[in-house]
Every structure is written in C-alpha cells, then in structure tokens.
Amino acid sequence: MHRLVAVSNRLPLGDNPSGGLVVALQDALGDSGGLWVGFSGEPSDAPQDSLEFHDGARFDRAAFDLTAEDYESYYLGFSNSVLWPAFHGRADLIEIKPEYLQGYRRVNDRIADLLLPHLKPDDRIWIQDYQLIPLAAALRERGVTNRIGFFLHIPFPDPAICAALPNPGEMFGWFSNYDLIGFQARRDLRNFIEGARQLSQAEPLDDQRLRLCGRETRAGAFPIGIDAAGFIDEARGAREEDRMRSLTDSKMMIGVDRLDYSKGIPQRFRAFQLLLENNPDLIEKVMLLQIAPPTRESVEAYQNIREETEHLAGRINGQFATVNWTPIRFIHRPIPRHELAGLYRQANVGLVTPLADGMNLVAKEYVAAQDVADPGVLILSRFAGAAEDMTEAVIVNPHDPWDMAAAMKRAIEMTPNERRRRHAALLQDVVEHDVSWWVDRYLQTLG
C-alpha cells in the first residue's frame, strides 16, 4: 500500500469549499490516510521555510504560504492571466509579463523544496492542476524518483493556442517529467498529443504512451465525477425551507457557476432574453435563478465579466419584470451544499452552458439531485468535458442564442416520459462514474 501525497494550489481549511477541485479531492482523500499539501490561502509578509501541518482531518494536511509578490505573479499572473485564458481558448485575454513566468517557476521550485523533506521513497505523488505543471520537473531536479502523476482539471487547448504561450517548449518539457498525465476528456488528450507533436517533436508510441523530450510518459482521459451517493442523499433530505417558495406555479431554470468568463453566463442571459422576446406567453411563467459567486476579483477580466453580467441581468429585468415577477434572480454568494441540492431538485431545467470547461461538476450534481419520478432537464454545452459522456442531455452551442433559446423552450415543454428516459441514462453515468471511480482508475493506471 503506497501512501498518497496530493498537491494542489489551495489547501482547503474551511468547511464550505466552492471550487470543483476542492470538492473532488476532499471526497477522494477522505479515508486514504494520505498527505495533502497546498497553499494556506493568505499571502504572508514573512513566509515560513517549512510546511505548516494542520490537525483535524482523517489525513494529514500541510500548508505552504506565499509572499504577496509570489501570489501576484504565480497565481493571479501566470496561472490565471496566462494559462487559464489560454487553456480555455481565450488567447485574446492572455497577459504576458516576464515576471509572471519567473514567479510561476520560482513558486513551483519553492514548493518542491518544502515538500522534499516529507517524501518517503514509496509515496505516490499526485499533482493537481495548471498552477503546478512544473512541480514534477522541480522534484526530479532534486533527485525524486517516485511515481508522479498529474491531473489537469481544465481543458487542454489546441496547438494554435499553445503556440500563443510565452514558453510552449518549456511547458511540454515540464509535462515530460510525469509518469501519467491525466485529462478530463478525450478531446484534451488529442489536443495534448497533437500539440506535443507539433511544438515539441513528441513521438506517439501507442494510443497512451509517447516519447516526449527524451522521456517516455503516459497520457489518458479520466473524466472526473462527483460523490454521487452523497449528493443524492443531500437532495432527498433537502428541507422545505431550503427551497424557494412563491414559485410554485412558475417554472425555474437554474445556473450555478463561479463567476468566470469561461462559463458563458452573458450568453445564457441573452438566450433567456430571446426566449422571452419570442414567447410572450412565458412572461411570469419561467424564471432563471443564477448563483455565481465572484472569484479572482483582482484580475481585470473578472471585474469585466462581473460588470457585464450585472448590467445584462439589470437590463433584462428592466425589460420584462412585472409587479409579481422578476425574470432573473442573480445571487453572488456561495451557498451551502444542502441548500444547493434542494434548489437543483426544485429547478425544472439545469443550465450548464460554458464556452469551455474541463468537465463541469454542476452538470453531474444537477442530475444527481433530481427526483427520479419527476426529473428536470439538463441543458449542456457541447464545450463542457461532461458532454462527451452525458449525451442524453439537451446539447447546445452556447455561442448560438437561437439554439439555446430553442433548447430552453423544449426543456420547459418536455413530456414526463422523455424527461424520465433521459434522466435515467444520465443518472446511471453519474452514479457509475463517480469520484471514487475516478480516483481508483487514475491511481491504478499510475501504479
């Protein structure tokens, strides 16, 4: 039995984590007795030169801290102003600054230094996500020969966008230090292999292994799941008071996203506007509940998306609201899981319409939360990784407001039989491919 050492950007210390990665890893490490290492969450003036261990969980948790300058360049800078937009296909939003890349390298080197004294020869190391791509290379430079795996939670872009990074060659070199590189979707795996071939002269050896920068590595698609059983229970147990009243005679559509430009929230609002413009009979009969807590607010693109969505919701509400009805309700705070589960269950339509998304756990949570006798309808963007397997959702192109408005109408009017048939197929996938399936499959392949 190998001890699992997971490393992620954020070490969750609170009780109400809102990022998908955090939710997934917490469920996953639950009883494995491993070590989870991540950033403490608050920049510090005097960072410690060792990890800080925290008690209280069934596994060890150890935090590193960062200076304000490191946080700025590594996290807000290279991770979220270069890699995040690039990997989500938004080369137009990339902001390249040499100090961002330097900070990204420096912080990954520092994490390797802090982790080194705590590693045992038999540990399996599993590094999570785009903030930490260089970490295996940094550990290898320090003599670590353990199995090291990586999982990318966000999409991997096509080669033309990789070429817009300041350092595509260096990036593929970083990847080559992993024994297993995991992606969410088959599309990401194809993009990676094609990018590695075009930009780094990689040679595919078979459909899983490739020779990259002089090393042999393995890559695969491992679609992440949710704690399906837990979520089903949560939704069944949702108390009446956690639901929205005053809505009994109107239909509700729900969107739950971090407020991020990749999630397609303005496009969703515009499609809803079109739906109301073209179907006046739906006035007072359907509303959209959008829950979207802001994130990364010091990055300009996030300030812009917040302004854009608030402005648009205000305009649409001004255009259509009546004394008794507001078409869009926009909530900016995270809400507890049991409350969220109750709202999903109550919503007739789940709107998951990102322009790009690694997987999207909200799609799976929405399905898990439904009442099987009278389930709601999932509308899912073809650009979410989830769409590769959740084919019984109503699949839409989020760039096309006409397509989305038609899907909304179809979902609202769908017969109970068709709703049950689609939902049963979706639920089976969500339950069979849950988060423990994901962890087991990944770790077996790494092993």
Helices (H), 47-158: 68-70, 84-87, 98-115, 135-141
- 93 belongs to the binding site for ligand ADQ (CB under 6 A): no
> Stretches 60-68, 167-175, 333-341, 430-438: which one binds ligand ADQ (CB under 6 A)?
333-341
> Can you give the length of the chain in residues?
447
Distance CA 44, CA 264 (A): 34
Closer of 22 and 148 to ligand ADQ (Cβ): 22
Helices (H), 30-181: 68-70, 84-87, 98-115, 135-141, 159-162, 168-175
Closer of 190 and 337 to ligand ADQ (Cβ): 337
- 334 belongs to the binding site for ligand ADQ (CB under 6 A): yes
- 21 belongs to the binding site for ligand ADQ (CB under 6 A): yes
Q: DSSP letter at 391?
A: T
> Stretches 27-35, 71-79, 97-105, 351-359: which one binds ligand ADQ (CB under 6 A)?
351-359
- 435 belongs to the binding site for ligand ADQ (CB under 6 A): no
Considering the candidates 60, 227, 257, 357, report the single residue annotated as catalytic.
357
- 387 belongs to the binding site for ligand ADQ (CB under 6 A): no
Residue 321 has phi, psi (to 5 degrees) of -60, 150
Taking CB under 6 A as the criterion, the residue among 101, 115, 362, 405 binding ligand ADQ is 362
Shortest-Cβ-distance residue relative to ligand ADQ: 20
Considering the candidates 88, 153, 423, 433, report the single residue annotated as catalytic.
153
Distance CA 428, CA 174 (A): 37
Amino acid at 74: Y
Count of residues of this chain found to bind ligand ADQ when the rule CB under 6 A is applied: 23
Residue located via tokens 């969220």: 340
Q: DSSP letter at 386?
A: G
Distance CA 228, CA 101 (A): 38
> Is-contact 104 73, C-beta < 8 A?
yes
Distance CA 277, CA 408 (A): 13
Within residues 117-156, the interface with ligand ADQ by CB under 6 A covers 153-154
- 20 belongs to the binding site for ligand ADQ (CB under 6 A): yes
Closer of 18 and 32 to ligand ADQ (Cβ): 18
Residue 349's beta-bridge partner residues?
A: 253, 377
Within residues 46-65, the interface with ligand ADQ by CB under 6 A covers none
Q: Counting Cβ atoms within 10 Å, is residue 218 exposed (0-12), middle (13-18) or buried (19+)?
A: middle
> Stretches 167-175, 207-215, 352-360, 408-416: which one binds ligand ADQ (CB under 6 A)?
352-360
> Is-contact 275 403, C-beta < 8 A?
no
Closer of 150 and 320 to ligand ADQ (Cβ): 150
Judge whether 153 counts as a catalytic residue.
yes
Burial 104-128 (b: 16+ CB within 10 A, else e): bbebbbbbbebbeeebeeebbbbbb
> Stretches 5-13, 19-27, 312-320, 437-445: which one binds ligand ADQ (CB under 6 A)?
19-27
In angstroms, what is the minimal distance from the CB of 334 to ligand ADQ? 4
Closer of 196 and 265 to ligand ADQ (Cβ): 265
Contact letters for ligand ADQ, residues 271-310 (x by CB under 6 A): --------------------x-x-----------------
- 19 belongs to the binding site for ligand ADQ (CB under 6 A): yes
Taking CB under 6 A as the criterion, the residue among 18, 26, 146, 436 binding ligand ADQ is 18
Within residues 204-233, the interface with ligand ADQ by CB under 6 A covers 224
Taking CB under 6 A as the criterion, the residue among 357, 389, 392, 429 binding ligand ADQ is 357
Distance CA 61, CA 192 (A): 32
Closest by Cα among 238, 196, 232, 191 to 214: 196
In angstroms, what is the minimal distance from the CB of 366 to ligand ADQ? 9
3-state secondary structure 325-380: ECCEEEECCCCCHHHHHHHHHHCCEEEECCCCECCCHHHHHHHHHCCCCCCCEEEE
Closer of 60 and 227 to ligand ADQ (Cβ): 227
Taking CB under 6 A as the criterion, the residue among 94, 274, 335, 425 binding ligand ADQ is 335
- 361 belongs to the binding site for ligand ADQ (CB under 6 A): yes
> Is-contact 385 360, C-beta < 8 A?
yes
**Residues annotated catalytic, as ranges:** 153, 357
Residues of this chain that interact with ligand ADQ (CB under 6 A) are 18-21, 23-24, 153-154, 224, 256, 258, 291, 293, 334-335, 340, 357-362, 365
